[in-house]
A = this chain, B = another copy of it.
Amino acid sequence: MPALPEDAADRHVARWRGHWVLENQPYDDTVEAVVTRMGSIMRHLRDHKKSAAVSVGLESHEYETLHALMIRDTPGTASPTTLADELGLSPAGMSGRLESMERSGYVRRTTDPGDRRRLGVEATAEGIDLWRRTMAARGSEEERILGSLTAREQATLSRLLKRIALDIEAGPTVADGQRTRSTRPSSQTGPSDS
């Protein structure tokens, strides 16, 4: 494996090491670099997705909404509440979003005759079209950037990330506000949690 040139994360780590202030907490270059790199990769993908949406005339939150609507088991239709949950939005936020998207004609709210509290949200033909065009404009930037790795390397990466993800999912489900201590992970490496 050839030595790789410096990346932004390396520079970040070098810069930060000197400013570490928690005496009882070690500063771990590798950990810091990993987190920084994941951050910049995700930011890149987010920016890319956003510009794809904008190039088609959609705000990125509108694209997200259409997307959530389209990739579900009953494509193109859902209740505002479900949608809000999936998008991590408050009910109020969802109302606002649907309102504006309905005005733009991307979406339609329908009433449920069986239960008049309930609404249905459907993507309109135009909404679906714009969603598809955004998908196409997006191309698969994800595949492009992961293309720097071989299939084997991708698999390794995926497995390592999965171990971390599983650890998080097993965790205390972060709960609200209060930081409950995790189901101490397999430990072996005292997370030295403060």
Contact = CB atoms under 8 A, between A and B. Distances in A.
User: For the complex formed by this chain, how many copies does it contain in all?
Assistant: 2
Contacts of A34: 142, 146, 154, 157-158, 161
Interface string A61-99: 000000000111101000000000000000000000000
A5 interface: yes
B139 A149 contact: no
The binding surface of chain A is classed by DSSP as helix
Interface in A26-82: 26, 28, 30-35, 37-42, 44-45, 47-48, 51-52, 54-55, 70-73, 75
Contacts of A164: 37, 41, 145-146, 148-149
A159 interface: yes
B194 A8 contact: no
A10 B35 CA distance: 22
Nearest to A25: B140
Interface of A: 1, 4-5, 7-10, 15-16, 19, 21-22, 25-26, 28, 30-35, 37-42, 44-45, 47-48, 51-52, 54-55, 70-73, 75, 132, 135-137, 139-151, 153-169, 174, 176-179, 182, 185-194
